[in-house]
Structure 1
């Protein structure tokens, strides 16, 4: 992400905080986080004997008017239409000057990427409604009086197209040296729109649900939302841990989560002076070599997450090879709290502070002196930069809390999936892996 400067230059690149603001030494944070996870696992293992979650019908139905309001055709049309208007507004910004005040990069990297996960966690998979391509396809279907699409979406594809799309996004952000340039964002979005629109015309709305990287990203985050749909379509409030188990098990699911977690970890690592110096020494000013080295680093981090989780999920005895082969997908939902916790720890400061700047810039995308919706009158407040100790403490809470929820989800899934004799021992490798994720995540956030 682009570096944003607040008053007194307090905001650090990528929204990262320094270990000097931690209320206790970094070593204590690392050891404490690992112990918190280990102790919570021990308590859960001996006090939690039966599966409690993974019930799709769990939850308390909200008043019927809530469901009627959410499903109201006019309400949904207004929201989708507003999102389409914002898209057109950003298209206008794409033809503006490539200056820091252009709102497109900020809207792309901050409002869309980080804001999406926050809104999805709070209320559900919002991209299904906000997607401009999906809105256009639905409108076309209404005009033609038939569903768009000429063939069925292949189940074998699963979430693989979305995994590649998510990798393309994080590659642009983290590996390409000119990621904040207007031309780079413009080209990426053009390719995304073409692929999503053509895929939708061929495979219908199922393409926009399974292959659109932002749709899958929103779906993953929504599994920690306190709101969900019952089988009869009614909106219910329920423990998000029950929603975790409803994550679709499709080809590419583990890869999607590995891309999200591994890329965020690499974003932290790539800010280390040692890495930056190593890359600069070898690139010698060459953008190609710089890109190749950062691409290799990004792939290493994603690969480590994918391989360690895949190995930990399969490292259980007493079951036949066929069932063991399914375990990574069946356990993948336990990574969601870890992914969300780490993304929030890493990017929340950017959303709060750079997000204000992006909204401010939307008031005048072409630098013509406009003040649309009075957005140009905004004065960004760098509240998190002004309270660094609170900010870094909140980041520790997000990381450790996300991992503790992940341990609980993995334990509950093990009780449902593993034979009785392996229900405890079969979790040990997963537990060690999550401790490793916790230790590494905290070190990457504050060790640089």
Structure 2
């Protein structure tokens, strides 16, 4: 309902402005505003970048935590771009996913956020499968909402545990074979996890496209009547208030092939980025090769889960 949406926007605005007032604009947008952080992560995959030509002056005068912890982003980064003159900003074309290979430090909270991006969209797809309907049928009807909320938390936690397990395997391989091949290796599982977590971003983008494309094309049509009656008062400002939703905009066959294509391409990009990160981190020897095995296995398993969910009939 428009009223509920307006209330949600108002609450978000109050929280955002309050956070900026208490912690400062840059600190809040980089660490506290979920939308800003998520869009910053997704923008690393973009084929277009806006960078600061020379960020030396920006970094030298920066005294915030982002500079201290080496998390300041001066490519597609608001915090650097607003501190320089327009002449110091430069638009560039770049290969997709290149932004995932920069040397910006990934914090533990950002690592968890990337995993949650994967877990939530996967769980949302699971909600529409017969398996989830069967799970709900085995619970009391008045506890359905509680079951869904608890399952989402457990599902996200499970994703994080699985990812850390495979990161531990990568760390073990690197430590075992790194010295023999002269390759550098990281000291802990969390170090490895933070270095490789951005390689999962192409998968997150691909599955969001696969899962929400048909929803966007069909449900997005509600914008047409809503633009004529934005407040639900019965207006018809542009003559579109009586528009009927056309569910035939995207056929099931086309939607399926597009979804599979997105998932496969996303995993191809992810494997390639992981390969580059492994060679950069562990060198070009056996350590780099073996360190990629757990990550490839993890990506293949997630591909299987994603395709299985996409192949299920929608029952919810």
- The answer to whether the 8 Å contact 2:126/2:132 transfers is yes
CA separation of 1:199/1:408 partners in 2, compared to 1, >3 Å: closer, same or farther? same
Structure 1 segments unaligned to the other structure (5+ residues): 1-89, 95-181
The aligned counterpart of 2:157 is 303
| TM-aligned CA deviation for residue 402 of structure 1 | 0.6
The aligned counterpart of 1:196 is 16
Structure 2 segments unaligned to the other structure (5+ residues): 54-88, 176-184
SS at match of 1:234: strand
Mapped partners of 1:275, 1:210: distance in 2:
34
Structure 1 residue aligned with 2:167, among 303, 310, 313? 313
Mapped partners of 1:356, 1:322: distance in 2:
51
State the structure with bigger RCO (CA 8 A, min sep 6), 1 or 2. Answer: 1
Structure 2 residue aligned with 1:328, among 193, 197, 200? 193
The aligned counterpart of 2:294 is 429
Structure 2 residue aligned with 1:225, among 46, 66, 72? 46
| TM-aligned CA deviation for residue 429 of structure 1 | 0.5
- The two structures have a TM-score, normalised by structure 2, of 0.76
Deviation track 1:210-256 (CA, whole Å, cap 9, x = no partner) reads: 21111112112211211112331201111122112246612311211
Mapped partners of 1:373, 1:414: distance in 2:
55
Q: Confirm or deny that 1:241 pairs with 2:61.
A: no
CA separation of 1:252/1:375 partners in 2, compared to 1, >3 Å: closer, same or farther? farther
| TM-aligned CA deviation for residue 415 of structure 1 | 0.5
| TM-aligned CA deviation for residue 331 of structure 1 | 1.0
- The two structures have a TM-score, normalised by structure 1, of 0.55
Q: Confirm or deny that 1:262 pairs with 2:119.
A: yes
CA separation of 1:367/1:253 partners in 2, compared to 1, >3 Å: closer, same or farther? closer
- The answer to whether the 8 Å contact 1:341/1:399 transfers is yes
| TM-aligned CA deviation for residue 374 of structure 1 | 5.1
- The answer to whether the 8 Å contact 2:167/2:190 transfers is no
Structure 2 residue aligned with 1:371, among 210, 214, 236? 236
- The answer to whether the 8 Å contact 2:174/2:290 transfers is no
Deviation track 1:29-78 (CA, whole Å, cap 9, x = no partner) reads: xxxxxxxxxxxxxxxxxxxxxxxxxxxxxxxxxxxxxxxxxxxxxxxxxx
- The answer to whether the 8 Å contact 1:266/1:301 transfers is yes
Deviation track 1:145-192 (CA, whole Å, cap 9, x = no partner) reads: xxxxxxxxxxxxxxxxxxxxxxxxxxxxxxxxxxxxx4xx56654443
Mapped partners of 1:421, 1:277: distance in 2:
46
Superposed CA RMSD in Å reads 2.4
